[in-house]
Amino acid sequence: MPKCTIDGKEIEVAPGTSVIQAAEQAGVRVPRFCYHDDLPVDGNCRMCMVEIEKFPKLQIACGTTVSEGMVVRTQVTSEKAKVAQRDTLEFLLVNHPIDCPVCDQAGECYLQDQYMENGLHDSRTVLEDKIQKRKVVDLGPIMLDAERCVVCSRCIRYEREVTKTNLLEFVNRGGSTQISTYNGGPITHEYAGNLADVCPVGALLSSDFRFKMRVWFLKETDSVCPGCSTGCNITIDHRDCEAYRFRPRRNVEVNKSWLCDPGRRLYQTIAADRVTTPHRKGGAVAAPSVLLDEVVAKLRAAGQSSAFLASPRASNEDAFTFKKLAEGLGGRLDFRVGNPQDKVKVRKDQILQREDRHANTQGLLDLGLGVTGVETLLNDCKAGKVEALFLQDGAMLEDPGVLDAAQHVAYVVALATHQGPHLAAAHAVIPAAMWAETDGTFTNYDQRVQRFKRAFDAPGDAKPGWEVALDLLARLGKPMNAATAGDVFVLIAAETKAYADLTHRSLGSLGRAVGDPAKTPATA
């Protein structure tokens, strides 16, 4: 473990740590363009110059490995490093078009940040003399503006190392160097959104987010992508109860700094066609408490001939309270449609996505929701043994097997997030909140329990699944000692061996793996 001194602060770092990482650990952010935590070091931008004792010249912090007794002085304490960084920045800005007012990167742009921190020089280039490059080049999911590019090659290294598609490359020489795809063709893979995140400036921007919102208006909430069983960590950027985009949140154990495009697009589902009011069959709107009383009466009448079908999209909190509801009535209980549990760990591609398109199949398995087997439950429905069926996700009615079974049941209740013709089969529809509108946890394929936080309010009368289940339990006369999702999780931890001693707080922002690491291979 080599020890080094950074700006007078002595720290011990792991062998092989670069100076830029060590400085980060010491609390100093060395400015950078080409260095990225999850990409190989290239060292071409020359922005991260630092002064290291016994080196005759300044060194790049990203390409220098910490050795025993190294004494580093960054821009904080070294005037030489500061001047070098300012000079580098001036060079990078020589041909920059300075179109920040129309650039979507404004607000999260490395050039802006670093100019404000230690640049603030007046330009020596006349605007008309700047080299003109291609602007507004449509690369499908990405918009390229070569004039804004600082030629850091982050995107090229991303294409080479992460997606292995090699779609981007430098063309031309000198000041005219710019990035390009072959013949200006589109970016075709499912991980294009990361290019916009990787780009430190506004050269590569998301076509989807283009001109939607200035980033400084957006609030960030830590969350987990519900798109598949990988459980990538994300940040939801939202304003006024509306999600504008998802960004990957770095978690080395799960998704590094990446997120797939299908996952990114899920923000659109939050606003689209939501169920906002409780209603009966045929669309007659009912007051929430009236409908819940009605549901409770029907479930109580059905008693042991009730059936509960949980959804692998539900959070652990939702699933646990749902299970308690089923147990309280002695009804049949299972989850899943199809066999997602067989696909939980199966990769869809070699980067992030997995075949199981549900976020929490593993969590429901851990909580013991697979009791009778979903086929038995549906066959019982068809045989007329079930008098009341409670579906945790209205979308399950889109499955022909479930729809057929539901048509044989006298009373079908569905917690639903989205409207659709399939909901016509339900006798009572209770609006439900989506994961972004409540607190909770998902357990990913690797048995890693990860927490997501409430970003904004659910629309209309929609309530989180756990809140509805707690309400129903209280109306049944079997109240649970919980008022928040965190309280529910404490009860889960008390009953589930694998989750023992966990709380929402102890999960932290990156989650905790509770599975046996020997059995579950880590992400490649």
Partner 1 sequence: MASRIIAVNRDTHPGIFPIVYGMWLTLRNMFETLFVKGRSATIEYPEKKRNISGRYRGIHLLTAREDGTPKCVACYMCATVCPAECIYIESGERPEKKIEKYPTRFEIDLLRCVYCGFCVDACPEEAILMSRENDLVGTSRAELIMDRDQLMNRGKLAEVGRGYHPTDHDVRRPVRIAALERLKSEHGIVPGMPKRS
Cβ proximity of 300 and 329 under 8 Å = yes
Among 292, 311, 310, CA closest to 300: 292
CB of 185 to partner 1, least distance (A): 19
Q: Which is nearer to partner 1, 122 or 501 (CB)?
A: 122
**Closest approach of Cβ 78 to partner 1, in Å?**
11
* Cα gap 268→275, rounded to integer Å: 15
Half-sphere exposure of 490 (CA within 13 A, CB side): 9
- Closest approach of Cβ 100 to partner 1, in Å? 8
Cβ of 322: how many Cβ atoms within 10 Å?
Answer: 28
The DSSP code for 130 is: S
Pair 431, 275: CB distance under 8 Å: yes
Q: Which of 76, 73, 148, 152 is nearest to 118 (CA)?
A: 76
Q: How far is the CB of 234 from partner 1 (least distance, A)?
A: 25
Q: Which run of H or of E encompasses 290?
A: helix 288-302
Residues at the contact surface with partner 1, assessed by CB under 8 A: 79-80, 82-83, 86-87, 99-102, 106, 118-122, 135-136, 210-211, 214, 216-217
Residue with smaller CB distance to partner 1, 120 or 272: 120
State the Cα–Cα distance between residues 223 and 235, nearest whole angstrom: 6
Residue (209 or 320) nearer to partner 1, CB = 209
243 neighbors 219 (Cβ within 8 angstroms): no
Kindly state the smallest distance separating residue 242's Cβ from partner 1, in Å. Answer: 13
CB of 292 to partner 1, least distance (A): 38
CB of 122 or CB of 516, closer to partner 1: 122
Q: Which residues pair with 59 in a beta bridge?
A: 50
Q: Cα(406)–Cα(1) distance, rounded to whole angstroms?
A: 63
Min CB(121)–partner 1 separation in Å:
6
Is 145:202 a contact under the CB 8 Å cutoff?
yes
Name the residue among 409, 419, 421, 392 with its Cα closest to residue 315. Answer: 392
Nearer to partner 1, 99 or 457 (CB): 99
Helix (H, G, I), strand (E, B) or coil at 470: helix
Taking the chain, what is the end-to-end CA distance rounded to the nearest angstrom?
26
Distance of alpha carbon 225 from alpha carbon 248, whole angstroms? 9
Q: C-beta of 340: minimal distance to partner 1 in Å?
A: 40
Least separation, in Å, of the C-beta of 162 and partner 1? 29
Q: Where are the beta strands (DSSP E) in 136-253?
A: 137-138, 142-144, 168-171, 178-181, 204-206, 219-224, 233-239, 242-248
Q: In angstroms, what is the minimal distance from the CB of 120 to partner 1?
A: 3
- Buried (b) or exposed (e) across 21-46, using 16+ Cβ within 10 A? bbbbebebebbbbbbbebbebbebbb
Cβ proximity to partner 1, 123 vs 339, nearer residue: 123
Nearer to partner 1, 89 or 302 (CB): 89
CB nearer partner 1, residue 119 or residue 465: 119
Output 93 or 433, the one with its CB closest to partner 1.
93
Cβ closest to partner 1, residue 9 vs residue 135: 135
